[in-house]
Amino acid sequence: MSKRWLSMLGMAVAVLATLGAAGPALADKRVALVMGNDAYKNVTSLKKAVNDARAMGETLKGLGFQVLVAENQSRVGFADTLLAFDKMIEPGDTAFFFFAGHGFEIKGDNYLLPTDVPAATEGQEELIRDASVSAERVIDRVQKRGARTAVFVFDACRNNPFERNGTRALSGDGGLAAMTPPEGVFIVYSAGAKQTALDRLSDNDNSPNSVFTRNFTRSLQEPGLNLVQIAKRTQSEVRDMANSIHHIQTPAYYDQIVGDVVLNGEARKIDVVEQPRTQLASLPPVQTAPRLAPQPENTNAPIASFSRHNGGWTVVFSLADPALAISWRMGGAGDFRETGFMDALDPRTRKRIPNPSIELDADAPAATIEIRYVDANGDMQGPFPIRFDPAQALLKDQRKILDMTASSWLAFREFNGLLVYYTHLVSYRCAIRQVRIGVDSSVPDKTVQLPPCDPRDPYSVPHDAQVLFKVPPSTKSVSVELTYQDGSLSEIKTFRR
């Protein structure tokens, strides 16, 4: 997949977003569904899922959410509860979904198990599909209701609930598979791939909540943290607690939120590498000191995405309103330049669509891009400032590509033995802090060295770079886990011959 093709894809997405953005002003309320299932009838019962849902419900109420709490839901009850949640969500809302209970992955699809899910044995995957709720379907329903921001927390990383002595269990390890969420969605798992989530640290651990939930609810209430900071703080605290009893549990998260989302107060910085901020999407705090109302012209401020290619940068703007023309300048000086037009008509204005993208040189320095546009009434809107930080934009762009092309991280080749190539990872190394691999093991325990990042030519593979390693001819699989530059971990991917 070429870098130029990815840039063109970003432009197409921006055009579609511009065409689909017209409509009434968006609402801005917070709604949540929290569900805990303990009382499973045909598979292993749980002890703290209901308590975790109650704790999460109280936490979200304190953050200004309208909360629907559901406990021990059968398949029919689950469906009715989701229908009630659908009706709570209006366009522009912030939606929060929390599920504590059993989850199961079947061929890459994730299912949340109601309390009356039947016991199943080998070959009965369709029985579980029909009797469970698709996690991806829940996300899709919330998106279709028009939620501006959607957070999904799945505390479903437990052992295979279908294991039984004397029978062949339904294939799988329990828990959920990694997910690539759509834009506007943030997902948190209570544990990483092939990991199990702890309910307690020892017999003397009297907390009513699981190790994940007690830390996650505390981080949610911390003033000024955005969603990534909340996830990373929870990740660190849960990992450290689990390590204290020699257990491995590192919560995973998947972020497709543009900008920062803060649930409690104003955004603030902590000691982590921040994601590039193309737009401040901070949600209104529950209680804040009086402050000046935002200027009307900033209500529908454009946002931007940055994509690096061999020739430089492509910047794609997304506008909430239909536009007759778009212009821009760098650094607050000089004349504004028109972006031009595309060979397509906007059905809302019946005029040519302004080109939503611009090109910057590869060595363009950090600066503020000012953008303005002529709206459908012929009035000039803006200028709006958009911060361009090439170092952070490169990290975000390469990580996005790595997520999109995860199936290409490793490749097997037979040439004078069995070789494993990781050229793809070398190409996008600027987003990677460390690569670990495991040969015929689901636990990556060896480190692979990557050459240093060259910001001037970030995708080039140095002529002397090591891009492969040799494995025994009997090797069946190699697992890989990435540590990104911001310290977060990828899901563990397994590549088979």
Q: Residue 482's closest CA among 434, 443, 445? A: 434
Average pLDDT over residues 253-262: 86
Domain boundaries, the chain: 29-255, 297-388, 405-496
Average pLDDT over residues 328-343: 88
Q: What token pair was written down for 297? A: 């012209």
Q: Residue 88's closest CA among 29, 5, 3, 149? A: 29
Residue type at 184 in one-letter notation: G
- Characterize 209-223 residue by residue with b for buried, 16 or more Cβ atoms within 10 angstroms of its Cβ, and e for exposed: bbbbbbbbbebbeee
Quote the CA–CA distance of 1 and 448 in Å, as a whole number.
24
Torsion sign (Cα): 233, 429, 434, 109? positive
Average pLDDT over residues 200-205: 83
pTM: 0.51
The gap between the terminal CA atoms of the chain, to the nearest Å, is 22
Q: Please give the DSSP secondary-structure letter assigned to residue 364.
A: P
State yes or no: pLDDT of 349 exceeds 60: yes
Give the pLDDT band (50/70/90) at residue 290.
very low
Please name the residue that has the structure tokens 């660190």: 236
**CB-CB contact of 369 with 317 (8 Å):** no
Q: What token pair was written down for 347? A: 């059905």
Give the pLDDT band (50/70/90) at residue 192.
confident
State yes or no: pLDDT of 421 exceeds 80: yes
Question: Around Cβ 3, how many Cβ atoms within 10 Å?
Answer: 18
Average pLDDT over residues 173-191: 82
What is the percent of the chain where pLDDT is above 70?
82
Average pLDDT over residues 260-270: 68
User: Which CATH number describes the domain made up of 297-388?
Assistant: 2.60.40
3-state secondary structure 194-249: CCCCCCCCCCCCCCCCCHHHHHHHHHHCCCCCEHHHHHHHHHHHHHHHHHCCCCCC
* Cβ-based neighbours of 190, under 8 Å, separated by 6 or more: 153, 154, 155, 156, 157, 197, 210, 212, 213, 216, 238, 249, 251
Give the pLDDT band (50/70/90) at residue 37.
very high
Give the pLDDT band (50/70/90) at residue 73.
very high
**What pLDDT score does 276 carry?**
36
Quote the CA–CA distance of 230 and 198 in Å, as a whole number.
19
pLDDT, tens only, 307-327: 887 778 899 888 888 889 999
Q: Residue 238's closest CA among 209, 275, 277? A: 209
What single string gives the DSSP state of each residue in 34-48? EEE----SSS---SS
**What pLDDT score does 162 carry?**
56
In this structure, whether the domain defined by 29-255 belongs to CATH 3.40.50.1460 is answered with: yes
Query: Which fold, 405-496?
Result: Immunoglobulin-like (2.60.40)
**Shared fold status for 29-255 and 405-496:** no
State yes or no: pLDDT of 492 exceeds 70: yes
What is the percent of the chain where pLDDT is above 90?
38
pLDDT, tens only, 122-136: 667 778 888 889 999
Select the more confidently predicted residue: 376 or 267. 376
Give the pLDDT band (50/70/90) at residue 109.
confident
Average pLDDT over residues 243-268: 83
pLDDT, tens only, 367-386: 999 999 998 888 898 899 99
| Residue 309, beta-bridge partner list | 312
